Structure 1
Amino acid sequence: MAADSAVWREHGTPLVAGSDSGPLHGVRLAVKDVHAVEGHRLGAGNPEWLAEAQPQKAHSWAVRALLDAGADVTGIARSDEFAYSLDGTNAHYGTPPNPAAPGRVPGGSSSGPASAVALGEADAGLGSDTAGSIRVPSSYCGLYGLRPTHGLVPVTGMLPLAPSFDTVAWLARDAVTLARVGEVLLPAAPAEQQRPFHTALVAADLVALAEPEVRDAFGQAAAGLAERLDLRIEEVPTLGGDPAARAEAFASAQGAEVWECDGDWVSAHPGTLGPGVERRFARAASVTQEERAAAEDVVHRTARDLRAALPEDTVLLLPATCGPAPLTDEGPEHKDAGRQATFRLTCLASGAGLPCLVLPRMVVDGLPVGLAVIAGPGTDHALLELAVLSGA
């Protein structure tokens, strides 16, 4: 059967074979179309960009590491345009299916890898996460996902979006595979960062950003996770600051960097972007230097406050998204409102450069919603161990 072109840009059996041995031998990998794959073009989810692209001369750092560990690259999977979207739709190539929520979007911008993994066509998906691009599709598709500590995994050979917030990221159907990929991509953790977590913070103002049914499911999921892992839940009204103001500042700081990375190309290719991505680029182009400086000040202040609230034995629990995946044909007004609410949740870890794990532990009206776990910097291995124990 031919590969679904809404999921895969290129597909093979495999497309690139990994080493004959290694800890990931036999793992099938879907690579988001923002990572360089030697001998193949990088398409960034846009046909005009793809048409101008030349074959890559080397693999991205993450692709090379996973191939050396024995994983096979099954194919290059679709990305939302320039990875600048959380929806999982693409005006040029279509919407990858979401088998966990038929008729609904898979989430973006790592939409292709998420769809491939959820469909069983890959075991793990290598993507990126700047403002939620691995966490949102993990939530919508009922998958495990990890955005690592910023800067911990080299982004060499990965298309930049906003370098201050860009991370290599990955997802899988099960926690063990997620952790196996992490053992390859993450540096070894110092002994002091391998201690278990004891406290789980729950901030009421963050939970309130989710839809009512998600709030109800979250309370049960958080309590169940705490009981399973012997965590003490500490409920607080807020971590400080206004979620809407935080998100607005992050969007401005991110947008300024997005325009630095891609603005020249976008300006030279008018009319080549889908409507949602085009609006975001227009917003990015409008950020002034004064607005950027003020926004970055808010982002940095929020990061300091969040890091201070998360000592090494503490995690923050929150809904990964405000609700289940929207319908593919959802009206733009309703979809934008959901995206904004979800962005207020995802921008926290992004702005602070903190690792964030998504666990598929909630079901709302028969649809998956992820439980997000944010921890202090460099606790990535401990988060992966938490993921494995949560499903043991």
Structure 2
Amino acid sequence: MTFDPSVWRVRPEPGPLTDPTDSGVLDGETVAVKDLFAVAGQRVGAGNPAWLGAAPVEEAHADAVDRLLDAGAALAGIAQTEEFAYSLTGANAHYGTPPNPRAPGRISGGSTSGPASAVAAGQASVALGTDTGGSVRVPAAYQGLWGIRPTHGAVADGGLLPLAPSFDTVGWLARDAATLARVGDVLLPADTTALPDPAPLVLSDALLALAAPEVRDAVGQLGRAVGAERIDWAPEPGWLAAFQVLQAAEAWAAHGAWLADRMDTLGPAVRGRFERARSIGAADAEAARAAVGRARTEIRARLGERVLFLPSTATVAPRPEDAEAAREATMLLTCIAGIGGLPAVSVPVATASGLPAGACLVGPAGSDRALLELAGRIQA
């Protein structure tokens, strides 16, 4: 198998980076780990060669990695991420853009781009990644994969390089719902919120309208097939802006001290985001934090015990020249679960032209396992 440096940073051949323990529900599974998680004996590269060069060798696995290996999975390798996970396109200025096996010539989606591409190509069965603003759900939709962003804080993040702790979550992708759920059996705590049976699914025309026609049609068709009730609900103006300001302020708090005199080590798109991030004052950051808090309360109250059904992304995987233009429209959709701190599962759908897209199930906080079970029933 040819080593693709846009997909993998560490990919030993032959065989995996770690041997399986043959000890649990993940026996036979192989995991592509996003290059933000500590792997014993390796460095965390964060998609940036300068950071990689200065990083220490890790002495222990990140919590999530450790639990997957203890459950019998083998570590296929360390897969690429966009720099510091601060993007959604999949393009890394230093290592390239991982291919999209399901939509050749189109972007892979990020920032869990390398692990997702590895799973879509059959080089691993599980992608361990992160989702702050959509970094699991976007590549899942673009590459026809199943992916979950858990309830904020549900999965231990020890040994994970942060971006914006108010929104960072440990997430994962797989080619089928059953594998996605088995990983959940290992990483997720018991649910603290039960979904009614049957789970009340709701679909908002205003949210559907944020997506391009081909995505809107595919998601709407599935929504009707599963009996989702139409509701009148739309995100408030200013929610996305507050999310982005707080995310940026926290990203600079996490990495600004190191980046202050190393901005030239970043690719243009990510550098532009960090330049804006360091210009955010304390008052603006606190105002954004307050706005996010109010929005979280409203989103949770409006959703209640229902499951919101919406597009995972606003478009199918765009071509590289259109990638940044599609980002803002998609974040209008992905920020809802992020602001709410809610679990979200991306279910693959296909457009009329055969391109992959995603339908997203957003459930109440603490309903992660039930949401995975519901996704599996939808697949069946």
Aligned to 2:10: 10
The amino acid across from 1:217 in the alignment is: A
The SS at the match of 2:11 is strand
The SS at the match of 2:360 is strand
Equivalent residue runs for 1:156-167 within 5 Å: 156-167=158-169
Equivalent residue runs for 1:1-392 within 5 Å: 1-12=1-12, 13-190=15-192, 193=194, 195-226=196-227, 233-239=228-234, 241-242=236-237, 245-312=238-305, 314-328=306-320, 330=321, 334-392=322-380
Equivalent residues of 2:35, 2:81 under 8 A apart: yes
1:201-257 residue CA offsets vs partner (Å, 9 max, x unmatched): 22222211111222222211211233xxxxxx3322324522xx2111100011100
Equivalent residues of 1:196, 1:382 under 8 A apart: no
The SS at the match of 1:15 is coil
What stretches of structure 2 of length at least 5 have no aligned partner?
none
Change (3 A) 1:92 1:240: closer
Change (3 A) 1:391 1:234: closer
The SS at the match of 1:378 is coil
Equivalent residues of 2:263, 2:271 under 8 A apart: no
The amino acid across from 1:112 in the alignment is: G
Change (3 A) 1:29 1:203: same
The amino acid across from 1:352 in the alignment is: G
Question: How large is the Cα RMSD of the aligned pairs?
Answer: 1.3
The SS at the match of 1:151 is coil
1:9-48 residue CA offsets vs partner (Å, 9 max, x unmatched): 0012110123222110110110000000000111000011
* Cα distance in 1, alignment partners of residues 23 and 29 from structure 2: 11
Change (3 A) 1:2 1:212: closer
1:56-82 residue CA offsets vs partner (Å, 9 max, x unmatched): 011000000000000000000000100
The amino acid across from 1:354 in the alignment is: L
Aligned length: 378
Query: Mean alpha-carbon deviation: is it higher for 379-388 or for 195-204?
Result: 195-204
If the length of structure 1 is used for normalisation, what is the TM-score?
Answer: 0.94
Aligned-pair distance for 1:300?
A: 1.2
Equivalent residues of 1:37, 1:56 under 8 A apart: yes
The SS at the match of 2:46 is coil
The amino acid across from 2:355 in the alignment is: L
The SS at the match of 1:109 is coil
* Cα distance in 2, alignment partners of residues 323 and 2 from structure 1: 31
Equivalent residues of 2:136, 2:148 under 8 A apart: yes
Aligned-pair distance for 1:195?
A: 4.4
What stretches of structure 1 of length at least 5 have no aligned partner?
227-232
Equivalent residues of 1:48, 1:272 under 8 A apart: yes
The SS at the match of 1:271 is helix
* Cα distance in 2, alignment partners of residues 110 and 171 from structure 1: 9
If the length of structure 2 is used for normalisation, what is the TM-score?
Answer: 0.97
The SS at the match of 2:226 is helix
1:269-288 residue CA offsets vs partner (Å, 9 max, x unmatched): 13111111011111111112
1:357-386 residue CA offsets vs partner (Å, 9 max, x unmatched): 000023252211100110100000011101
* Cα distance in 2, alignment partners of residues 370 and 218 from structure 1: 7
Give the percent of matched residue pairs that are identical in Structure 1 and Structure 2: 51
Equivalent residues of 1:129, 1:169 under 8 A apart: yes
* Cα distance in 1, alignment partners of residues 53 and 162 from structure 2: 19
